[in-house]
Amino acid sequence: MPSATVRLSYRIALAFCVLAVAYLAFAPLTEPVGFSYDKFNHLFAFAVMAWLADGGWPGPRQAWARWGMLLGYGLLIELVQRELPFRQFSWLDVMADAAGIAVYVAAKALIFGRRWLPRL
């Protein structure tokens, strides 16, 4: 179990990441920042946020809840974008968010073994 200082560092990093993703999602940008492929940006951002959430709140007991909240955040972003005149709602973006979380879960399972995966 990581120390309280390490967990706090992960939580602060996650907060900054959530704010950065919100800014990028709601700003009137003409093209996505970073990589030119928008779905990869979603996948990468949500894989990183899943990693930070697991670091901030370690342990498999609430893992599904953490990942579910992240996916809910992705859906919230899309619902807000639906109301913005310069953005649009996309189920493909939500699916890319879910894929990012799944990539993180799969990578962690490969690194630490299947016994790490939390039970439903």
**17-43: pLDDT as tens digits:** 999 999 999 988 766 555 558 889 999
pLDDT of residue 112: 79
Nearest C-alpha neighbor of 44 from the set 74, 86, 80: 74
Kindly state the DSSP code that residue 115 receives in the 8-state scheme: G
Reading phi first (left if > 0) and then psi (alpha if -120 to 50, else beta), residue 59 is in: left
Paired tokens of 115: 């016994």
CA pair distance 120, 91, nearest whole angstrom = 25
pLDDT of residue 48: 97
Question: How many Cβ atoms from other residues are within 10 Å of residue 69's Cβ?
Answer: 13
Full domain range(s) for residue 81: 4-116
Total structural domains in the chain? 1
Ranges of the chain whose pLDDT falls below 70: 1, 30-36, 114-120
